[in-house]
């Protein structure tokens, strides 16, 4: 409105510099403005304020809407999945109130598993949570349905919310996280197909995406992957080369692995009396030092040669020793533990089992050794993990506590009680936050037994009580979440 702009201009400059006039005033105001300016006793400021008030009232009495111009807004396509039940929503309220991410993950996993989606009003809160917690993003995309994807186009922070109903769709149209997820899934069933998919799009991917997607090949990796990975060592990107090198180290039989094996075979031998001798036979022109093997030991008690060999032992598949010594793995394990020359390499052997995710030998080793090897825990069958932890908990409590949160299955009641008793002894280390992190692993059945646990230290009792009450609340929510989907599935 020109007349209002003129008022603002005069006001900015001041009436001392610019006099008010009726020039730009609309017709209906001219007569009134003329009266204001013609009044003999009013000063210039008064005249201006009266004119300004006139235009102000004219403006606010005759505001007009703007004729809608072109907009790129589209209407959200209809949903293909059903909304979750009112009970599930109630459980979601409790979950969001608890601000517990593992419980929110559980809720979203169940929602996705039941092929359900969230009603629209909850989407902003879930998408906001997912933008802050990367681990929730793929689940959020699934739970928020088409409306979530539609909404996310207006908020850059939510651009992970692409709906993809099938694995193929996820690979073709998804975000990098979704594509990685899809590739890992395909890789699990058909490793060659997954590799072929990645090879097909490889030239179009950026270096960062290449490095991220290449990581999917660690699932089901084998000799068939070696030629391509070896070719990738010539890629421009350092990041990609590092991932390819790491993957190659996981392939027994790859040229890299064979180089390591050969050095070890020549260095570690058995004499005619069955005694194992260790003499580092490292060729001077070897290329292994370009593959991440360090030359110098940083421990005065470990020689450089021993240090190099220990790194190689950790990167060579443990079955090599069975062939090398013509012995069973149990016999190999005994040799490593009993022979003075091999004993320093026991930790590397354990690392090798872990590196190649060798479940069979992991189980064998823990059954034949009194030493606690925490790194082998994830390779043990679920039921054995609990037993193994229980067996060594008292001696290695703090160490075990670092791992128990990573277990994939719900703890047994016996293990849960043992862990919670330990927490009660150290409530300032294992606080409400710890309970929040562990909540999906703690069986609901311990709720009734929690009263049996109390802090031995009198000073800790009140604090542990509040932690315990917090845990009860979380367990109630967890049960409610599970029931809310079970009842309505």
Partner 1 sequence: MDGNNKTTTSLDLTEEQVLAMAPDESSRKAGKELAKPAKWVSTGFSEAALWGECQGSGSKPYQTQVDTGAMAFRCSCPSRKFPCKHGVGLLLYYAREKASFIQQEQPAWVTDWISKRTEKAEKKAQQATDAKPVDEAAQNKRQEARHRKVSDGLDELLRWIKDLVRNGLIGVPDKGADMCENMARRMVDAQASGLAAILREMAEISYYSDGWQTIFMDQLLRLYLAAKAYLHQDRLEPALQQDIRTLIGYSQSQEELKTQNGITDTWLVLGKQSTEDDRLITERYWLYGLTTRRPALVLQFTIRHQPQVQLMPAPGSCIRAELVYYPSAAPMRALIKTQQAAPADHQFHGYDGWAGVLTAQTQVSSQLPLYNDQVYTIAALTPVQRDGQWWLRDEQQQEMQLRPDFRGLWKLLALSGGEPLPMAVIGRETHYEPIGVWYQQAYKVL
Min dist CB 75 to partner 1, Å, is: 4
Give the DSSP letter of residue 440.
Answer: T
Minimum CB distance to partner 1, residue 50 (Å): 9
Among 181, 180, 182, 142, CA closest to 162: 142
Our CB check for partner 1 shows the closer of 369 and 482 to be 482
Burial track 133-169 (b if 16+ CB lie within 10 A, e otherwise)? eeebbbbbbbbbbebbbbbbeeeeebebbbbbeebee
Nearer to partner 1, 128 or 169 (CB): 128
- Burial (CB count <10 Å: 0-12, 13-18, 19+), residue 170: buried
Instruction: Quote the least distance from Cβ 155 to partner 1, whole Å.
Output: 7
Question: What is the Cα–Cα distance from 160 to 152, expressed in whole angstroms?
Answer: 8
Residue by residue, DSSP assigns 280-304 as ----TT-SGGGGT--SS-S-TTS-H
Minimum CB separation of residue 450 from partner 1 in Å reads 12
Reference 309, options 279, 332, 343; nearest CA is: 279
Identify each DSSP E strand in 266-394 by its residue range: 268-270, 276-278
Q: Give the helix/strand (H/E) hosting 270.
A: strand 268-270
The CB-of-146 to partner 1 minimum distance in angstroms stands at 9
How many whole angstroms separate alpha carbon 271 and alpha carbon 449? Answer: 59
**Residues in touch with partner 1 (CB under 8 A):** 4, 7-8, 11-17, 43-46, 48-49, 52-53, 56-57, 59-76, 90, 93, 97, 120-121, 123-124, 127, 147, 150-151, 154-155, 469, 472-473, 476, 480
Q: How far apart are CB 124 and partner 1 at their closest, in Å?
A: 4
CA–CA distance, 473 with 298 (Å, rounded to integer): 49
**Mapping DSSP to helix (H, G, I), strand (E, B) and coil, where does residue 23 land?**
coil
One DSSP character per residue, 219-252 reads: TT--GGGHHHHHHHTT-S-HHHHHHHHHHHTT-T
Nearer to partner 1, 73 or 395 (CB): 73
**Which pair of tokens denotes residue 454?**
């109390």
What is the largest distance, in Å, between two alpha-carbon atoms of the chain? 128
Indicate the residue among 122 and 321 with the shorter CB distance to partner 1.
122
74 or 298: whose CB is closer to partner 1?
Answer: 74
Of 155 and 402, which has the nearer Cβ to partner 1? 155
CB-CB neighbours of 283 under 10 Å: 11
Q: Are 278 and 336 in contact (CB under 8 A)?
A: no
Helix (H) or strand (E) holding 420: helix 413-425
Nearer to partner 1, 271 or 451 (CB): 451
User: Which whole-number Å values give the CA distances from 450 to 329, 438, 454, 465, in the listed order?
Assistant: 44, 15, 8, 10
Q: Minimal distance in Å, beta carbon 481 to partner 1?
A: 11
Smallest gap from residue 343 Cβ to partner 1 (A): 55
Query: Least separation, in Å, of the C-beta of 94 and partner 1?
Result: 8
CB of 122 to partner 1, least distance (A): 8
Residue 248 near residue 256, CB atoms below 8 Å: yes
**Pick from 289, 233, 279, 235: nearest CA to 259:** 289
Give least dist CB 431 to partner 1, A: 16
């Amino acid at each position: 409105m020109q007349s209002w702009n003129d008022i603002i201009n005069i006001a900015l400059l001041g009436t001392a510099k610019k006099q008010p006039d009726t020039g730009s005033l609309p017709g209906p105001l001219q007569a009134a403005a003329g009266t204001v300016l013609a009044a003999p006793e009013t000063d210039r400021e008064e005249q201006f304020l009266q004119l300004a008030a006139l235009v102000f009232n004219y403006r606010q009495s005759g505001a007009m809407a703007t004729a809608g111009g072109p907009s790129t807004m589209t209407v959200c396509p209809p949903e293909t999945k059903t909304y979750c039940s009112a009970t599930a929503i109630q459980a979601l309220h409790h979950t969001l109130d608890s601000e517990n991410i593992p419980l929110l993950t559980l809720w979203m996993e169940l929602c996705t598993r039941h092929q359900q989606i969230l009603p629209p009003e909850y989407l902003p809160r879930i998408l906001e949570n997912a933008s802050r917690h990367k681990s929730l993003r793929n689940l959020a995309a699934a739970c928020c349905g088409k409306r979530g994807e539609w909404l996310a186009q207006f908020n850059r922070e939510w651009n992970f919310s692409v709906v993809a109903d099938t694995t193929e769709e996820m690979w073709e149209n998804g975000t990098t996280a979704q594509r990685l997820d899809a590739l890992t899934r395909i890789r699990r069933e058909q490793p060659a197909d997954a590799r072929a998919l990645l090879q097909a799009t490889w030239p179009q991917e950026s270096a960062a995406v290449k490095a991220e997607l290449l990581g999917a090949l660690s699932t089901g990796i084998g000799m068939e992957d070696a030629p391509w990975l070896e070719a990738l060592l010539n890629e421009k990107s350092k990041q990609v080369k590092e991932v390819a090198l790491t993957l190659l180290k996981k392939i027994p039989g790859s040229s890299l692995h064979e180089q390591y094996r050969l050095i070890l075979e020549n260095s570690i031998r058995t004499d005619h009396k069955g005694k194992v001798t260790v003499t580092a036979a490292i060729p001077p022109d070897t290329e292994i030092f370009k593959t991440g093997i360090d030359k110098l030991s940083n421990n005065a008690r470990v020689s450089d040669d021993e240090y190099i060999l220990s790194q190689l032992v950790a990167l060579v598949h443990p079955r090599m020793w069975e062939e090398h010594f013509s012995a069973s793995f149990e016999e190999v394990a005994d040799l490593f533990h009993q022979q003075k020359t091999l004993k320093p390499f026991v930790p590397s052997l354990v690392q090798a089992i872990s590196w190649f995710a060798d479940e069979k030998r992991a189980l064998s080793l823990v059954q034949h050794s009194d030493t606690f090897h925490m790194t082998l825990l994830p390779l043990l069958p679920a039921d054995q993990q609990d037993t193994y932890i229980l067996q060594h908990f008292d001696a290695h409590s703090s160490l075990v506590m670092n791992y128990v949160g990573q277990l994939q299955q719900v703890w047994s009641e016996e293990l849960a009680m043992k862990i919670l008793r330990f927490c009660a002894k150290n409530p300032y280390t294992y606080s409400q936050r710890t309970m929040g992190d562990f909540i999906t692993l703690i069986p609901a059945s311990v709720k009734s037994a929690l009263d049996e646990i109390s802090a031995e230290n009198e000073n800790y009792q009140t604090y542990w009580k509040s932690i315990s009450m917090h845990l009860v609340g979380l367990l109630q929510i967890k049960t409610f979440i599970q029931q809310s989907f079970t009842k309505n599935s």
